Structure 1
Amino acid sequence: MVPLYTCCPFPSSKALQISPSFLLLSSRNPKFLPFTISRILRATSISTSATKHEEPIRTSYAGVQLEETVDETKQGKLRLDSWISSRIQGISRARVQSSIKSGLVKVNGRVVDKVSHSLRAGDKVDCVISDLQRLKAEPEDIPLDIVFEDDHVLVVNKPSHMVVHPAPGNANGTLVNGILHHCSLPTVASSEKEVLFDTEDMSDDEQDIFHGASAGAASVRPGIVHRLDKGTSGLLVVAKDEYSHAHLSEQFKQHTIQRVYISLTCGVPSASAGRVDIPIGRDSNNRIRMVAVPGLSHHGRARHAASRYKVIEVLAGGGSALVQWRLETGRTHQIRAHAKYMGIPLLGDEVYGGTKNMALSLIRPRTPPYYNDELSRLVSRLERPYLHALVLGLEDKT
């Protein structure tokens, strides 16, 4: 038996207007905003059926030291925390920021405690990474939108802006904190040797869950077998016992889980439906961003990634589109990276190019002038990539 869980009706014009979990731009007026943005986008809508990468230093030891000069070939300004993170694999950006704030980083011989300090080519950076800090997750009475629950699994409709499990800078208010309270479980703590991850890296990459972390890391995310980005809303399944955790983990590893996402994009795909089969690897210039480049998998720094997409509706005369995605694999930021590769970054995705300026440049020329002021106000309040996990199908082995 394969249960299919969905947190809203299959996408349609009506569903797009009334689904606050997907189109909510501001919690201050959840009923008005979804209707307004869909009305504006539809005002003039037409209905339609190998890059060379710099090798980072590789280590996972606590207290690692870095003494390095910024490459002369680097153009423009670089953030201090981002650059250090890109040079030391396995060190979280939050931990780098903690080291900077603790006065453990020098630039050209002077202590710099500002994480956003701009580096230039030729700057000499000396730093010592601070010791790992233990994390713990305490039960918190956080309202959860539970779509399905039995003795073995829990399916939750995660709101946007909620982090899945504790990490540096997000020790409270996570989904795990709410699950511990809901299931009447005690406080859990990480081990002293735990490898920590940035909150920006929260993703639905099941391979990271299974192979990329220590047993200690798993201790602060009980039952979690996959993740959603912090800004992504939608369905996430949680195991309530070891037996269910093992079976769900196997389904994710074998890619038998059915997952359907919907998104709003900047622009419209050139083909109304298709399959994107492009490897995805981490961007050497920005640790929190992935990049889709043909042929990267042959260099060992990227993984096979495949996504199927279908345009559900063209909006604003071609300025935007409601797109359905079906994942064949589950890589970090897979949909976001593939959408950028296709030239249609997700609306509100500042990391992958779906900026407010891009949205306005595409939508405003196709929108009646009397909507311009309202459109500008709405776009200015975009706070996350408009991506929603709509359907989750899994095999019931209980």
Structure 2
Amino acid sequence: MHSLHSLSWTSIPTARALLTSSSLLSFPRNPRISRLVRACSDATGVSNSDDATARRNNYAGVRLEERVHVKSGKLRLDSWISSRISGISRARVQSSIRSGLVSVNGRVIDKVSHMVRIGDEVSCTIAELEPLKAEPEDIPLDIVYEDEHVLVVNKPTNMVVHPAPGNATGTLVNGILHHCSLSAAAIPHQEVFSEAEDVSDGELSCFSADYSYQNDFSSGAYEASVRPGIVHRLDKGTSGLLVVAKNEKSHADLSEQFKQHAIKRVYVSLTCGVPSPASGRVDIPIGRDLNNRIRMIAATGPSNCGKARHAASRYKVIEVLAGGGSALVEWRLETGRTHQIRAHAKYLGIPLLGDEVYGGTKSMALSLLQLRTPSNFHGQLVQLVSKLERPCLHALSLGFKHPYTGDKIRFSRLPPADFAEILSGLRAINTEK
């Protein structure tokens, strides 16, 4: 095996102090990363068989036949259907309406703003998603390791892993297609998810019998319906390490390692405030927020969330920053749920710096930091917080068993410059008198 880029621990000088903690660069002894299976919650009027179809095809083919029971006034057709199929996006419903797959009182309706009234009989079939085509693009990639079987990439901040509605170009998959000299690939509807439905910090549920290679990925001969073998992915705003399978055997083996919780990963984050206690385990189920589909909720009891699934994270404070206004925190995942670290951090009352979705807004961060620091630092804090453009979360370490040799290999990459700059600024406030 040949490493294209050796690890450079001093490539980001402002982050060198990360190395002072041996635990920060070590791997968890017993990592547990469970498969995230995308599924919609049961909805009134949706049969069990159709719900199973939704689980396989991301709502494609789901049928709803129900009488409207609106207590007063009128309601838009697209809004009413969205409220009856838990978790589905209104855009997806609107597409089905425009495709002529919805009828009211036996008459096909193709107007999404059609008003329904109490007693109306609505019949709806959710349309299949059209495949997206991923074109090769000459995008600079930080290749940490590569051989004929696997590829390890250090994903930069604000790069989407693969094409989805609203992100058809500029993705990691586009760059990998070019890097491996492959032609365009079509992504089947089972694999098309919007950014709001992105799977983060975990495995992709779409890898199944639908994912097949004609020949090795490296040979360039593969079925048009197959994309590069992204075995897991990170949120758009999260930087760090990802492994990519380059042939069918590698994909199957790495997927099984995820299933058996054998992939070892360590994340680091900067938080608003310091968790108490300084280390611990969060074992709180996570479900999608039904009022905001791009957000997950730590379900501690009855709440406005979809079907909650078991989620467990271990955390440890590496360094207290800015008088306790922030902290450098290490995370080790036992499960791989959507936005797991971000949702659990919010549950602990320490949302990630820069995480606008989960409460780590610039105003919140500035207020907390100024409360914990002398007034002569407040101007400096204003400038520092203004640089927050994404959640301060980085996938620091990745370890797995090579699918062909069986060797245990591991890789690490320090956080990028934006993360390092914020960390350095907070440390300066911590030490200056």
Q: Report the TM-score when normalising by structure 2.
A: 0.66
Q: Are 1:369 and 2:379 matched, yes or no?
A: no
The residue aligned with 1:391 is: 397
The residue aligned with 1:106 is: 113
Residues 85/341 of structure 1: CA separation in 2 closer, same or farther (3 Å cut): farther
The residue aligned with 2:332 is: 326
Partner deviation per Cα, 1:328-359 (whole Å, 9 max, x = no partner): 11111111111111111111111111112210
d(CA) in 2 for partners of 1:379, 1:99: 43
Q: What is the Cα deviation at residue 372 of structure 1? A: 2.5
d(CA) in 2 for partners of 1:327, 1:167: 26
1:200 partner amino acid? A
**Which segments of 5 or more consecutive residues in structure 1 lack a partner in the other structure?**
20-53, 73-79, 110-124
Q: What is the Cα deviation at residue 381 of structure 1? A: 3.8
The residue aligned with 1:227 is: 233
Match of 2:202 among 194, 200, 205: 205
d(CA) in 1 for partners of 2:13, 2:140: 29
Q: What is the Cα deviation at residue 306 of structure 1? A: 1.3
Residues 226/67 of structure 1: CA separation in 2 closer, same or farther (3 Å cut): farther
d(CA) in 1 for partners of 2:204, 2:360: 27
Q: What is the Cα deviation at residue 93 of structure 1? A: 6.3
Partner deviation per Cα, 1:47-92 (whole Å, 9 max, x = no partner): xxxxxxx9656552359789968899xxxxxxx9999766535745
Task: Give me the CA root mean square deviation.
Answer: 4.1
Residues 278/242 of structure 1: CA separation in 2 closer, same or farther (3 Å cut): same
- Please state whether the residue corresponding to 1:173 is helix, strand or coil: coil
Q: Decide which structure has the larger Cα Rg and report it.
A: 2
- Please state whether the residue corresponding to 1:208 is helix, strand or coil: coil
Q: What is the Cα deviation at residue 371 of structure 1? A: 3.4
d(CA) in 2 for partners of 1:129, 1:383: 36
Q: What is the Cα deviation at residue 127 of structure 1? A: 9.8
The residue aligned with 1:118 is: none
Match of 1:273 among 279, 296, 302: 279
Partner deviation per Cα, 1:128-158 (whole Å, 9 max, x = no partner): 9776333100110000011111111111000
Residues 101/283 of structure 1: CA separation in 2 closer, same or farther (3 Å cut): same
d(CA) in 2 for partners of 1:250, 1:283: 30
d(CA) in 2 for partners of 1:8, 1:93: 46
Partner deviation per Cα, 1:142-182 (whole Å, 9 max, x = no partner): 00011111111111000111110111111110000000000
Partner deviation per Cα, 1:245-294 (whole Å, 9 max, x = no partner): 11100011111111100001111101111111112222222222211224
Q: What is the Cα deviation at residue 188 of structure 1? A: 0.8
- Please state whether the residue corresponding to 1:106 is helix, strand or coil: coil
Residues 187/13 of structure 1: CA separation in 2 closer, same or farther (3 Å cut): closer
Match of 2:358 among 336, 352, 361: 352
d(CA) in 2 for partners of 1:282, 1:206: 17
- Please state whether the residue corresponding to 1:352 is helix, strand or coil: coil
The residue aligned with 2:309 is: 303
Identical amino acids, percent of aligned pairs? 67
State whether residues 82 and 287 of structure 1, in contact with CA within 8 Å, keep that contact through their aligned partners in structure 2: no
Highest relative contact order (Cα 8 Å, sep 6+), 1 or 2?
1
Q: What is the Cα deviation at residue 17 of structure 1? A: 7.5
The residue aligned with 2:262 is: 256
The residue aligned with 2:216 is: none
Q: Are 1:138 and 2:135 matched, yes or no?
A: yes
2:389 partner amino acid? E
Residues 13/187 of structure 1: CA separation in 2 closer, same or farther (3 Å cut): closer
The residue aligned with 1:182 is: 179
d(CA) in 1 for partners of 2:251, 2:392: 29
Residues 135/328 of structure 1: CA separation in 2 closer, same or farther (3 Å cut): same
Match of 2:249 among 229, 243, 247: 243
Residues 99/55 of structure 1: CA separation in 2 closer, same or farther (3 Å cut): closer
- Please state whether the residue corresponding to 1:105 is helix, strand or coil: coil
Q: What is the Cα deviation at residue 210 of structure 1? A: 3.8
Residues 82/105 of structure 1: CA separation in 2 closer, same or farther (3 Å cut): closer
Residues 246/71 of structure 1: CA separation in 2 closer, same or farther (3 Å cut): farther
The residue aligned with 2:107 is: none
d(CA) in 2 for partners of 1:313, 1:224: 33
State whether residues 347 and 355 of structure 1, in contact with CA within 8 Å, keep that contact through their aligned partners in structure 2: yes
State whether residues 163 and 192 of structure 2, in contact with CA within 8 Å, keep that contact through their aligned partners in structure 1: no
Residues 6/87 of structure 1: CA separation in 2 closer, same or farther (3 Å cut): farther
Residues 243/363 of structure 1: CA separation in 2 closer, same or farther (3 Å cut): same
Question: Superposed, which structure 2 residues align to 1:11-30 within 5 Å?
Answer: 14-15=14-15
d(CA) in 1 for partners of 2:67, 2:203: 34
Residues 376/295 of structure 1: CA separation in 2 closer, same or farther (3 Å cut): same
1:347 partner amino acid? L
State whether residues 211 and 226 of structure 2, in contact with CA within 8 Å, keep that contact through their aligned partners in structure 1: no
- Please state whether the residue corresponding to 1:141 is helix, strand or coil: coil
**Which segments of 5 or more consecutive residues in structure 2 lack a partner in the other structure?**
20-40, 47-53, 100-109, 117-121, 213-223, 405-433
Q: What is the Cα deviation at residue 302 of structure 1? A: 2.3
Number of aligned residue pairs: give it: 335
- Please state whether the residue corresponding to 1:311 is helix, strand or coil: strand
State whether residues 232 and 386 of structure 1, in contact with CA within 8 Å, keep that contact through their aligned partners in structure 2: yes
d(CA) in 1 for partners of 2:136, 2:162: 12
State whether residues 86 and 306 of structure 2, in contact with CA within 8 Å, keep that contact through their aligned partners in structure 1: no
